[in-house]
Structure 1
Amino acid sequence: MAFKEKLSSTFYYYQWVVQTRKLRQAFPRYKVMPVEECICEIISNRKSASRFGDGEFRLLFPEHYLEFQENSEELRMKLKEVLAGSLRNHIVCLPEQFCSFRKFDISTKYWWKKFINHYGGRIAPFLDSHRIYGNAFISRFYIGFKDKSETRVQRTVSNLKKIWNDRDLLIVEGRYSRLGVGNDLFSNAKSIERIICPEKHAFRVYKNIYEAAQRYGKNKLILVALGPTATILCYDLAKAGFWAVDIGHIDIEYMWFLRKATEKTPIPGRHVNEAEQQESLDLPEEYAENYIKSILLQIPGSP
């Protein structure tokens, strides 16, 4: 982008911020841990974590749905239960922008301030301004930040990898998520096994996913990448005494970092719902054998 365009964009943003400030005045500044502190809390206290992003908040209301997840009364009730929950072994994670915009680039600031303009008044009743929340951006550590330096990102990735260092992992993921395939994100794990779930409308078969995670997740760290279903699953597994972390987007963010991407781009072999286009979903041959061997169970979707 040319300098004049950047200047124009920056000028427009600050002008817009001033013009729309009243829309955000009643939205509290919530207490959200920094990313590194949230990671430490997960490790030190063996806490499960559920992340709320814009999609989960939209699904609190019956008129909204996502491309990959339909809405339902049961889904709404479960999401509200997670937000209100206060388990000792579980942490609810909110977007860091509910606390501070300081670390983020202009496009990310604009996006989240616009979200608060539209939804802040509706979601505030579900939140507690006195509660300390985890940071939903534990798995979104690259693309939206002003500082995309290798030093900062590698430090965060190194800390994240401590969560599963020398641990047996059960990854519960969508069909085209393929966490860690073709990169070293989980290279320090002791072992990796997977449950493959539907890539769309996974909550339709939630009972099957939950039962499978319990069956295969004993004495393992369970990592979940499954949209709003992951938010609910990690809470329910925590209630049952399991250690489960909602880690969706981590693999895509890491791949963007490795590619030095400056915007949300497609990744071959992955479904990237936030990219405007999609690459081939075919799994590269050199990774197929180990990936297939790691699969314990494939749960079919419901029509």
Structure 2
Amino acid sequence: MTIAETIADITDNKKSISRLGDGEFKLLLKAGDIGFQKQDLELSNKILEVIYNRNPKFLIALPDSIATTKTHKRFAKVYWIMFINNHGKALSKILDKNYRYGNANMTRLYAGMRNQSKSKEYFDKVRTIWENKDIVIIEGNLSRLGVGNDLFDNVKTLQRIICPHKNAYEKYEHIKKAATKYGADKLIVVALGPTATVLCSELCNDGFWAVDIGHIDVEYMWMLMGTTQRTAIKGRHVNESNNSEGYELDPELIGPYRKSIILDLSN
């Protein structure tokens, strides 16, 4: 699907979505650890279950870069060509040519895009997913989605469940239990790497609406900053950049952020 088609499928049909990228592919193929999640056999098997999930309310999304890199900047293009050279044959045996995948780059809307003139339009479309909704954000303890920007200013209510920003899968059962406790009749927004990929699939099968939206906040911040590269963001862990800005939040942001937290599983 295109980015616009993917967003429309989520909003119009109230679909849950799990996104797979290079990190999930590496874990799936047992090709080593990734920066914030160590290799785990159970996790690899769970990612495979996600790929085979055909629940009609569920959408599996892959990066469009495995089909074409024409819309990407040179650094992204080179990376994905090398990735496909290394892993493409193994992936092609697992992926289903008869399934129409969503576009995982629905959250990668700025830094790697060659044409950034549509970035704001895409972000506005994504924001319609949670417009006037009661939402629960499940995120790493240094992700802080929407803190210091207006990404979620259009929601009805917002609560947070905080998880470890590294190796979150080790607490998977606790995270899933919390999601089912607090996510009834709400939109569950998850930014938690491969753990989010598995969680959104399983929550959908249990009747919840769960959207894997990782990277959306840092990409939005990069657009607001007008940066030409993936750079550090004050108060956030950015997986693709060394943290040169520190993790301290500005004083005026600390109160509202802490007030939104209903459960902290990060310790």
Q: Report the TM-score, using the length of structure 1 for normalisation.
A: 0.86
Quick one: distance in 1 between partners of 2:133 and 2:180?
17
- Residue of 252, 260, 276 corresponding to 2:226: 260
Aligned residues of 1:171 and 1:223 also touching (Cα < 8 A): yes
Quick one: distance in 2 between partners of 1:187 and 1:35?
22
| Aligned-pair CA distance for 1:63 | 4.3
Aligned residue in 1 for 2:110: 142
Residues 119-155 of structure 1, C-alpha deviation per residue, up to 9 Å, x if partnerless?
Answer: 1011111101121000100110000011122xx1111
Quick one: distance in 2 between partners of 1:212 and 1:266?
30
In the alignment, structure 1 residue 92 sits paired with structure 2 residue 63: no
Aligned residue in 2 for 1:163: 129
**Which has the higher mean CA deviation after the structures are superposed, 101-110 or 172-181?**
101-110
In the alignment, structure 1 residue 228 sits paired with structure 2 residue 194: yes
Partner of 2:93, secondary structure, is helix
RMSD, aligned CA: 1.0
Residues 202-229 of structure 1, C-alpha deviation per residue, up to 9 Å, x if partnerless?
Answer: 0001000000000000111000000000
| Aligned-pair CA distance for 1:102 | 2.1
Residues 239-282 of structure 1, C-alpha deviation per residue, up to 9 Å, x if partnerless?
Answer: 00000000000000000000011111000000001013442001
Aligned residues of 1:272 and 1:278 also touching (Cα < 8 A): no
Seq. identity, %: 45
In the alignment, structure 1 residue 289 sits paired with structure 2 residue 255: yes
In the alignment, structure 1 residue 128 sits paired with structure 2 residue 99: no
Structure 1 or 2, whichever has the larger Rg, is 1
Aligned residue in 1 for 2:162: 196
Number of corresponding residues: 267
**Matched letter for residue 261 of structure 1:** T
Aligned residue in 1 for 2:246: 280
Aligned residues of 1:52 and 1:231 also touching (Cα < 8 A): yes
In the alignment, structure 1 residue 249 sits paired with structure 2 residue 215: yes
| Aligned-pair CA distance for 1:185 | 0.4
**Matched letter for residue 100 of structure 1:** T
| Aligned-pair CA distance for 1:67 | 2.3
- Residue of 71, 75, 79 corresponding to 2:47: 79
Residues 3-52 of structure 1, C-alpha deviation per residue, up to 9 Å, x if partnerless?
Answer: xxxxxxxxxxxxxxxxxxxxxxxxxxxxxx00000000001110000000
Aligned residue in 2 for 1:106: 74
Q: Which runs of 4+ in 1 moved over 6 A?
A: none
Aligned residues of 1:271 and 1:278 also touching (Cα < 8 A): no
Quick one: distance in 1 between partners of 2:202 and 2:62?
18
Aligned residues of 2:233 and 2:243 also touching (Cα < 8 A): no
Quick one: distance in 2 between partners of 1:40 and 1:62?
33
